[in-house]
Amino acid sequence: MPYIRVGEENGAPIEIYYESHGTGRPVVLIHGYPLNGHSWEKQERALLAAGYQVVTYDRRGFGRSSQPVIGYDYDTFAADLNALMEGLDLRDTVLAGFSMGSGEVTRYLGTYGSGRVSQAVLMAPLQPYLLKTDDNPEGVDAAVFDGIKQAITADRFAYLRAFLDDFYNVDILGSSRISDPAWQASFQIAADASATATLACVSTWTTDFRADLPKFDVPTLVIQGDQDRILPIAATGARLDGLIKDIRYVVVKGGPHAIGWTHADQVNEALLDFIQ
């Protein structure tokens, strides 16, 4: 299996698992919490059929990547992505991130620039700044994140069940757009992730990306469901118009957080239209 080495912990390598399929212009797909690179399967299928090279990888702590207890911050996540981009020598790349993955895209462009990137996609994004502060009144109270961490610490599996219900808006879309077996598959992937990573990543959700966004100098697609319960659209995607220079903003009506699965046809149409 292919891996990129990105560090070391107590003498053991920290490795990022990736998959690269197809030929043509590369599209790097970065997954959301608490899943892995395979969560992009409906987009990967469409992109391969359209003639693109598709690269997915598992964030450290998740999927088949190493599960260290260090490095759960966006500077490190972006460095892991940079190691992948350089290791595979990817150029003219479409860099697409879903949910937590939007943070890698944003911090990567803010730190490493767009020398290897020609377009960016932020799907159900974290940006610009999720935490409510005096200069960011549109954000979410810190107590909410403290409560999430307490719930994970008390019973990680019970928390993941509730999280995934809201991830897919199961009460509304169950059976019609998210089957029970698909939900169960997501739960198993989430349960197999590092307990440390599952908890530590919550703190990364309050990363301030406002200094990174003005550094975007590539066309950017922002796509989000208007019924997103995980990252409410009013606090995230709807605020990005004007913060990114060249932006296309697509709202999926009735879409939950996980629009890549529940509304794959609409997401794929918007994605392919943008990058073609």
Which residues are designated catalytic? Answer: 99, 228, 257
The H-assigned helical ranges of the chain are 41-49, 74-87, 100-112, 142-154, 156-168, 170-173, 180-192, 195-204, 259-262, 264-275
CB 224 within 8 A of CB 251: yes
Residue 239 tokens, joined: 């605020």
Give the helix/strand (H/E) hosting 182: helix 180-192
**Position 17: which residue type?**
Y
What is the Cα–Cα distance from 222 to 97, expressed in whole angstroms? 10
Q: How far apart are CA 18 and CA 41, in angstroms?
A: 14
Nearest to 117 by CA among 242, 4, 216, 224: 216
* Closest C-alpha to 260, from 129, 187, 191, 167: 167
Any idea how long the chain is?
A: 276
Q: What is the DSSP letter of 13?
A: E
d(CA 81, CA 178): 30
Structure tokens at 150: 């307490």
